[in-house]
A and B are shown apart, each in its own frame.
Chain A
Amino acid sequence: DIQMTQSPSSLSASVGDRVTITCRASQSISSYLNWFQHKPGKTPKLLIFGASSLQSGVPSRFSGSGSGTDFTLTISSLQPEDFATYFCQQTYTALYTFGQGTKLEIK
């Protein structure tokens, strides 16, 4: 199975900060990397698919980059509603795997 290593596991930041979260795959997954946001009591929300494509309705402050094994989710200017858990998912193989998640908290 492809292992997804996500970092950091937690992050404290302030409104207006630029934040970066990374995911590393144990082998090349081309661009089959997706990013999600999950808030307590809500369903997970797809933010980025195919490493860099913004899902419809997602604010442009969210962006994704990378290919092969190394990927990044960037939030350009944190807003109060962005404090949540973020996780990645690889869909390169049908044995899907996820990153452990990053909890983004208010500093």
Chain B
Amino acid sequence: EVQLVESGGGLVQPGGSLRLSCAASGFTFGSYRMHWVRQVPGKGRVWVSSIYSDGSRTIYDDSVKGRFTISRDNAKTTLYLQMNSLRAEDTAVYYCARDEPMAAGAFDIWGQGTMVTVSS
């Protein structure tokens, strides 16, 4: 079964750090570009970051640039998001997703999400 499973969310104080993981299974992880998307409960989804299949290129939304780092370990079929200098406005459910180049780049597989709460 093709699956993405996020972990690593939790409660962290402002200014703190957290590392999210996304374990992939059921497909050739190293062949796909991967993404992080977040959603504040009750609000719309916001793209956060992307990484090419070989890790050679990363892209970030301006709101997280310089604070978040996306990475991947293709041998472990795992995607990561290192989040530093966290702010209250980073509170959200974080989803990892795969994009399918044969489907107009649509994010065709998503994880179930992991909640990050930034609060003192």
Known: A49-B103, A50-B104. A94 touches B44 (CB 8 A): no
Pick from B12-20, B45-53, B68-76, B77-85 the stretch touching chain A. B45-53
Quick check: B44 and A98 within 8 Å, CB to CB?
A: yes
Quick check: A43 and B43 within 8 Å, CB to CB?
A: no
Question: Could you tell me which residues of chain A, from 32 to 54, have a CB within 8 Å of some CB in chain B?
Answer: 32-34, 36, 41-44, 46, 49-51, 53
Quick check: B50 and A94 within 8 Å, CB to CB?
A: yes
Count chain A residues whose beta carbon lies closer than 8 angstroms to a beta carbon of B: 26
CB of A89 closer than 8 Å to a CB of B? yes
CB of B32 closer than 8 Å to a CB of A? no
Quick check: B107 and A46 within 8 Å, CB to CB?
A: yes
State the majority secondary structure of interface residues on A.
Answer: loop
CB of A31 closer than 8 Å to a CB of B? yes
Quick check: B108 and A91 within 8 Å, CB to CB?
A: no
Quick check: A32 and B47 within 8 Å, CB to CB?
A: no
Count chain B residues whose beta carbon lies closer than 8 angstroms to a beta carbon of A: 25
* CA gap between A91 and B45 in the complex, in Å: 14
Report B92-106 CB contacts with A as 1/0, cut-off 8 Å: 000101011001111
Instruction: Name the distance in Å between B105's Cβ and chain A's nearest Cβ.
Output: 4
Quick check: A89 and B112 within 8 Å, CB to CB?
A: no
Quick check: A87 and B44 within 8 Å, CB to CB?
A: yes
* CA gap between A34 and B37 in the complex, in Å: 15
Contact of B61 among A49, A51, A95 (CB under 8 A): A95
A residues with a Cβ closer than 8 A to B are: 31-34, 36, 41-44, 46, 49-51, 53, 55, 87, 89, 91, 94-101
Other than A32-B105, A51-B104, A96-B50, give 6 A-B pairs with Cβ distance below 8 A. Answer: A34-B106, A49-B104, A49-B108, A55-B106, A87-B44, A91-B99
